[in-house]
């Protein structure tokens, strides 16, 4: 598993569905450079079980992401048509109607491969035939990308393990706090708490107060 933290986020141009039902060609995260941080997350498949809980939970917190001027973008190996159908299916039928942030189609699995979250790989079997070993879907990867296009945080969950959207917000707050104040964020930091200076004196001062 590659660590992308501190590196430029892999560039892609792909089909996407935005605003709950509009097709877009050549969608790219480059549009946010210099303007917004991005929470870019992968999920395994449309029309599954844990996935709708995550996507709907992100939508429920969109007001909080908007307040922080952060774009949220989802991605799976499904086609844009599958995304569109899922976005237009009612929640009580397993759909995610009401989700408005972009969903990227990684049908060729190249985006998942470049972010190193693909839950398997292509290889040759004993008969010399090309085969896929593992699951041909993405793990539940999440990447926080700053305004320069650099990855500042990443977390990857196995397929059965849903994510905490509150934790994603906390990491956004930590990044924005550091960039605004130049102070680092200690263990269990959350918005409204003290940061500390990245020095021996700063650590001693922080610990003496806590």
Q: For residue 13, which phi and psi values (nearest 5 degrees)? A: -135, 120
Catalytic residue numbers read: 51
Instruction: Compute how many other C-beta atoms are within 10 angstroms of the C-beta atom of residue 65.
Output: 22
- Report pLDDT for 127: 82
Q: Are residues 118 and 195 in the same domain?
A: no
pLDDT tens-digit readout, 155-206: 999 999 999 999 999 999 999 999 999 999 999 999 999 898 887 565 556 6
Report pTM: 0.94
Tell me the average pLDDT across 22-29: 98
Whether the Cβ atoms of residue 58 and residue 91 lie closer than 8 Å to each other: no
Q: Are residues 138 and 181 in the same domain?
A: no
- Report pLDDT for 158: 97
In a domain, 135, yes or no: yes
In a domain, 61, yes or no: yes
Q: For residue 126, which phi and psi values (nearest 5 degrees)? A: -65, -20
Strands (E), 44-150: 70-76, 103-105, 118-124, 130-138, 140-145
Q: Are residues 133 and 202 in the same domain?
A: no
In a domain, 106, yes or no: yes
Please name the residue ranges forming H helices in the chain.
Answer: 50-60, 62-67, 80-87, 110-114, 165-181, 200-209
Read off the pLDDT band of 132 (50, 70, 90): confident
Q: Are residues 168 and 132 in the same domain?
A: no
pLDDT tens-digit readout, 38-75: 999 999 999 999 999 999 999 999 999 999 999 999 99
Least confident span in 98-112, 127-141, 152-166: 127-141
Among 161, 183, 200, the domain-final residue is: 161
Q: Are residues 114 and 180 in the same domain?
A: no
Structural domain range at position 34 = 14-161
Read off the pLDDT band of 207 (50, 70, 90): low
Q: Are residues 195 and 94 in the same domain?
A: no
- The token pair at 2 is 């590659």
Q: Are residues 146 and 91 in the same domain?
A: yes
In a domain, 204, yes or no: yes
């Amino acid at each position: 598993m590659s660590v992308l933290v501190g590196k430029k986020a892999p560039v892609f141009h792909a089909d996407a569905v935005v605003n709950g039902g509009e097709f877009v060609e050549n969608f790219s995260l480059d549009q946010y450079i210099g303007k917004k941080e991005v929470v870019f997350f992968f999920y395994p498949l449309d029309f599954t079980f844990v996935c709708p809980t995550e996507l709907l939970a992100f939508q429920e917190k969109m007001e909080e992401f908007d307040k922080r001027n952060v774009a949220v973008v989802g991605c799976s190996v499904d086609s844009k048509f599958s995304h569109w159908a899922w976005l237009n299916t009612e929640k009580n039928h397993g759909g995610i109607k009401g989700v408005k942030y972009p969903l990227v189609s990684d049908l060729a699995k190249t985006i998942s491969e470049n972010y190193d979250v693909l839950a398997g790989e292509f290889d040759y079997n004993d008969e010399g035939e090309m085969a896929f070993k593992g699951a041909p879907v993405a793990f539940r990867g999440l990447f926080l990308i700053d305004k320069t296009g650099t990855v500042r945080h990443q977390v990857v969950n196995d397929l059965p393990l849903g994510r905490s959207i509150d934790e994603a917000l906390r990491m956004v707050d930590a990044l924005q706090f550091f960039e605004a104040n130049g102070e680092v964020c200690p263990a269990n930091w959350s918005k409204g708490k003290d940061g500390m200076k990245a020095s021996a004196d700063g650590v001693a001062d922080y610990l003496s107060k806590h």
